[in-house]
Every structure is written in C-alpha cells, then in structure tokens.
Amino acid sequence: MMNNTQISIIIPTFNRANFLKQCIDSCLNQTQKCEIIVCDHGSTDNTPEVAKSYGDKIKYIRRDLDSGVHFCWLDGVLHASNDFIHINYDDDWIAPTYIEECSKLLNENVGCVFSETQLFDESKNEFGQKLFKLEQETGVFSIKKLKHFNLKYLTSPGAGIFRKEILLNFLFVGNIPFTQNNYHGVGPDILFSLMSTLKYSHYGFVNKPLAFFRVHENSITIDAQSDKIKSLKIKKAYEDAKIYFFIHKFVKSCNIYSIAKLYYKISKNFIKIKKYNND
C-alpha cells in the first residue's frame, strides 16, 4: 500500500442538477478525505446553484461553452491536485468506503484499481445487476486479466481509480488518433484501463459493489439499447479504441519510435546535403 495516498474525484456534469446532489454528497461522505472537483461545461439548468451551495467543500469549474465530454474530463483532471483520479459520472454515486478500500490496494506496481459495480433502476427504484466481477476476491492481481477483460468486454472509469499521468496522456480532446468513429465520449474511457496495462504490472480489485450506476431514460448507454444505429456507433467507437491500443502496443514493442527518429535524422541530413549541393 502507498502511504497517505491522496485521491481526486472528478465529477463531469451537464444538465443533471436533479442527480448531481446525490453524487456530490456520496463523494463528501467518503471515510477517506479526498479532493472533489465538479466540472460543468455549458449546463443550462440549475447545476451552478447546486454546485455553489457546497461552498469550499468542493472545487467548482464552470465554463459557459460546452466543448464536448472529453474536454470536460480533461479540464477536471488538469485542476486535480493529486496523482490518482476517480471519475464519477454525475448521475452515479459511490459507497462511503469506496476511496478508502480502493486506495488500500495502490502501490508502485498498480496501474489502477476497480471495485465491483451495481446498477440502480431509477424507474423501478431498485438495485439490479452487478457488473465488472473481475476477480473472486479482493486483492492485487496481474494486469493481464484486466487487459483480456477489456478487450473482450469493457470496464467503466466510473468504477475505477487511475493514475493522473494515464488520463492526461490518453484523454484525447478530439478523436483518438487513427480512428474514424466516436460517440459521446465512448472510446477514451476504455483506454484508461488498456493503457495502464502497458506501463504497470498489476491492478487492484475490491470484490464488492462500491460504485452504483443509475439506469434512467436519459442515460447514453440505456438510450442506445433501444436504437440500433446508436448501439452500432458505440460498438464501432470501442472497436476503434481497441485498435489504437494495439497500434500503440506494436509501436512500443517493435521500437518503432527509434526507427522513425533515425529516419527523421537521415532525412534531415539528406535535405541539408541536397541544399548545400544546390547552392
């Protein structure tokens, strides 16, 4: 365990004032104190009033222009004071011990930590399916299992704690390089987990639901379930993210960067020689 690990919670939000209070309260009620940043880009409801009612208990970032979900996430991460980040969606919440139990599993070899997650059906007012059963017990495990799980299925950043460096490196404001498909922030979210597997040997898992995802009619994923076109867009966006992961892995494993650097130097010298001869 890393002693005195400090965690920042980023809450990206847009026009969900009706859910935001429960989300913020769950973060403030953590048994381990943490920094809470609410990042609001372009909300037109009473989100500002809800956020400002907490005073200095939270850090509130407000921008009138909505430049997309990726920039909202990145804006929050850039304002974070700590090296470990939990992204909490504005319509979800976490159990009081989420940060404490997850942070116990962090060490220098751990790239990220997840807890099991449970859905909450807003219309039925009841808890439902449990998600992300990555292991059978709580502990630190080889990160290969996390990689294989995400390549076959996926995990959500709303269930995890990540290193700030990973988020900054792979939270692309535009499209993921070499990709063609995107849909409401889908893609980079899975890269947080996949890219962690390239740099760190282990990940942590808490074998109990400590994060709760709200199922409601305005949820992007729920909305896509009843729309084949939207569902296909999400599928393609995740496929593109996974392809980028393999491209990045190939470049790293084959030392393509060094080859490209050598080619650049040779080309640069060739241009100088050609210019000299022309003169």
Q: What pLDDT, in 10s, does the model give residues 218-230? A: 776 655 566 778 7
Residue 211 has pLDDT above 60, yes or no: yes
Tell me the one-letter amino acid at 105: L
* Prediction pTM value: 0.88
Question: 33-37, 38-42, 132-136, 182-186: lowest mean pLDDT where?
Answer: 182-186
Statement: residue 278 has pLDDT above 80: no
Q: Give per-residue pLDDT as tens, 80-126.
A: 999 999 999 999 999 999 999 999 999 999 999 999 999 999 989 99
pLDDT band at residue 16 using 50, 70 and 90 as cut-offs: very high
Average confidence (pLDDT) over 264-268: 78
Architecture in CATH for domain 7-253: Alpha-Beta Complex (3.90)
> What is the reported pLDDT for 226?
63
Per-residue model confidence as pLDDT tens digits over 153-207: 889 999 999 999 999 988 876 677 777 776 666 777 889 999 999 999 999 999 9
Query: DSSP for 153-193?
Result: S---GGGEEEEHHHHHHH--SSPPTT----BTTBTHHHHHH
pLDDT of 242 higher than 60: yes
CB 101 within 8 Å of CB 210 = yes
Collect all residues with Cβ–Cβ distance below 8 Å to 22 and sequence separation of at least 6: 93
Could you give the 3-state DSSP secondary structure of residue 45? coil
Tell me which residue has tokens 């890393």.
2
Q: Please measure the distance between the N-terminal and C-terminal CA atoms of the chain and give it in whole angstroms.
A: 64
**Domain boundaries defined on the chain:** 7-253
Q: What is the pLDDT of residue 264?
A: 78
Q: DSSP letters of 93-128? A: EE-TTHHHHHHTT--TTEEEEEEEEEEEETTTTEEE
